[in-house]
Amino acid sequence: MMNLSKKCSLLISLFLPLFAALTDAKAQRIPIGIYAVVPVERVVSPLQTEGVTVSGINSYLLSFYAGLLNNPAVSGLTLQVHWDTLNPRHAQKANPYFWDYVDDAFSAVQAWNANHPSGVPKGVQLIVAAGFNSPQWMLNDLTSCDGLFYDPEVPPPSSCGKVTFTNFEEGGDSSELPLPWNTTYQGAWATFLQALAKQYNSNPSFVSIAVAGPTAASAEMLLPNGADATQTQFMAFGAMPISPNAMWKALLQLQYGDNPVYLATDQAFIDAWDHAIDTYGEIFSNVTLVATTGNGLPSFNTTKGPFPPPSAPVNFAPDCLYPENMDCQAETTILSYFVQSLVGGNNAKATQTSGLEASREGLGDLGIDGVRYLAQQTAGSTQPSQILGGAQFNQPFSTSSQAAETEGASPIREQALYNVLQDFFTGTFAADQYCVPLIESGASAPANMNYMQIYYQDIQYAGSHGPTSVAEGCWTISVSAQDLLNTASQQLLAIAER
């Protein structure tokens, strides 16, 4: 498995000239290969705690990013960064934006590309999270809806724009969540995105940005959800514990009255996502817009029952095996709009799952199989749009034996990595290299996949550890994590859509 076939090598040599498009700001820039995920706040927080100056952090990050880029398997950086980090002050105030830590990434990439003119240019993916990571000045501009859940109730105005959710599993910089449909929130987010585009859109190293806004703590289609009141989401001023779903039902009624389209449905979240997709399309151009599924929109019990998944322009039925799953119906409806949307600039499109792990398999959960299925259904298309496929590891496989077991059902890190790669490449043109089927159930041909996002700890681990024994399903070999990543990178270069 570790040696590419002559056919794959030939494909790579044929495709390499096409990578010159990454340096042309007039062409659609698309992500191809393995990207090192850097959660910016997590990396810089220890330095800030130690009192390191901003200039000191910049120096550290330039070296840190360069180390990741020097790994031969890495095609670029995926920066996960919070809105409140980049936009600490209102747009009308002095110095509203702080780009240093993102600028450092672009500087490191540009330096690498300049020093390797004959190599494939490396790039930057951006995942900027709003929601719980919104700046405090923006939250202060919103009226709280919390009174709706006090005991006794203190009715807020129907125009209220934020609510407190406690115990949200993914955390965030605040416990206050802007309501996805609030126009003040949407307007502030759009103003920030315009500034972000002005800063980076023309940079040839900028390859993709994840659509976000109507979200919680990431770019995933994920909000506080669930019907279990024992998982306390809000308790203040004597209020009894209340489930997230019950909170959303009350908030929807406050906002939309008795309109049956919005009561106990996900339509408001669908509308907010459609608005976000249009906003990104209007603001960004010549890059790849990424929609990230999350398996996490509220799924209300309703006598009407959810609507079926869309069947046109792409048949999403295989993504939703359980008709009662309102979340799946909503997410596929959003994806259908994403496929068809023609708003805005000359952008490519991609979907990804950010929960890639070997234990998550099979259509029906909007995971990696759903991403591959959509990529296969739209391969080579212009109408509807071709949708590229990508995935992010659920967590680093290298940081602990527990993490390795979660990722790939193995305490051996190299085996855990192999297991996740095997899951990723199932149903693709590289599947036979992993002893798995080339074509998945319901697909008519193998899928092309474009990119994989792997946490920086794993990239560092791969560059510093030797080989160990790995069972591949067809045979057992001695291989290092770096070998596995090198091969996966070459396979992505060979099978990616362009």
Contact 145, 254 (CB under 8 A): yes
In a domain, 118, yes or no: yes
Report how far residue 128's alpha carbon sits from residue 11's, in angstroms, rounded to the nearest whole number: 34
In a domain, 1, yes or no: no
Report how far residue 203's alpha carbon sits from residue 48's, in angstroms, rounded to the nearest whole number: 28
Kindly indicate the confidence band of residue 477, based on its pLDDT and cuts at 50, 70 and 90: confident
Residue 472 has pLDDT above 60, yes or no: yes
Within a 10 A sphere around the Cβ of 363, how many other Cβ atoms? Answer: 20
Residue 92 has pLDDT above 60, yes or no: yes
Secondary structure (3-state) at 284: coil
Average pLDDT, integer, range 251-267: 94
- The percent of residues in the chain predicted with pLDDT above 70, rounded, is 89
Tell me what pLDDT residue 467 has.
Answer: 84
DSSP 8-state secondary structure symbol assigned to residue 312:
S
Residue 205: CB partners within 8 Å, gap ≥ 6? 22, 76, 106, 109, 110, 113, 121, 122, 123, 124
DSSP 8-state secondary structure symbol assigned to residue 336:
H
Average pLDDT, integer, range 51-58: 98
Tell me what pLDDT residue 122 has.
Answer: 98
Tell me which residue has tokens 């126009």.
183
Range of the domain at 478: 6-495
Residue 296 has pLDDT above 70, yes or no: yes
Average pLDDT, integer, range 221-243: 81
- The percent of residues in the chain predicted with pLDDT above 90, rounded, is 69
In a domain, 52, yes or no: yes
Tell me what pLDDT residue 230 has.
Answer: 72
Taking alpha carbons only, the member of 72, 175, 6, 31 closest to residue 496 is 31
Average pLDDT, integer, range 384-392: 93
Report how far residue 256's alpha carbon sits from residue 447's, in angstroms, rounded to the nearest whole number: 42
Tell me what pLDDT residue 96 has.
Answer: 98
Kindly indicate the confidence band of residue 365, based on its pLDDT and cuts at 50, 70 and 90: low
Mean residue pLDDT of the chain comes to 88
Tell me what pLDDT residue 443 has.
Answer: 79
Radius of gyration, alpha carbons of the chain = 22
Question: What are the structure tokens assigned to 453, written together?
Answer: 């996002």
Name which residue leads in pLDDT, 118 or 13.
118
Tell me what pLDDT residue 23 has.
Answer: 39
Tell me what pLDDT residue 306 has.
Answer: 67
In a domain, 70, yes or no: yes
- Cis, peptide link before residue 384, omega less than 30° from 0: yes
Taking alpha carbons only, the member of 344, 131, 123, 163 closest to residue 255 is 163
Average pLDDT, integer, range 6-32: 51
Residue 305 has pLDDT above 90, yes or no: no
Quote the crossing angle between the two packed helices 267-283 and 183-200, to the nearest 10°: 30
Tell me what pLDDT residue 496 has.
Answer: 95
Low-confidence winner among 13-17, 99-103, 358-362 (lowest mean pLDDT): 13-17
Question: What are the structure tokens assigned to 111, written together?
Answer: 């330096």
Does pTM top 0.85 for this prediction? Answer: yes
In a domain, 129, yes or no: yes
Kindly indicate the confidence band of residue 319, based on its pLDDT and cuts at 50, 70 and 90: confident
Taking alpha carbons only, the member of 222, 203, 208 closest to residue 290 is 208
For residue 13, which phi and psi values (nearest 5 degrees)? -65, -30
Give bridge partners of residue 162 from the DSSP assignment. Answer: 144, 178
In a domain, 10, yes or no: yes
Q: Residue 263: which CATH number?
A: 3.20.20
Question: What are the structure tokens assigned to 195, written together?
Answer: 């500034």
How far the first Cα of the chain sits from its last, in Å, is 25
Average pLDDT, integer, range 296-302: 86
Contact 245, 229 (CB under 8 A): no
Within a 10 A sphere around the Cβ of 466, how many other Cβ atoms? Answer: 11
Tell me what pLDDT residue 303 has.
Answer: 62
pLDDT tens digit sequence for 121-143: 999 999 999 999 999 999 999 99
Report how far residue 11's alpha carbon sits from residue 247's, in angstroms, rounded to the nearest whole number: 53
Kindly indicate the confidence band of residue 11, based on its pLDDT and cuts at 50, 70 and 90: very low
Question: What are the structure tokens assigned to 447, written together?
Answer: 């899928």
* Domains: count for the chain: 1
Residue 446 has pLDDT above 70, yes or no: yes
In a domain, 473, yes or no: yes
- Cis, peptide link before residue 260, omega less than 30° from 0: no
In a domain, 64, yes or no: yes
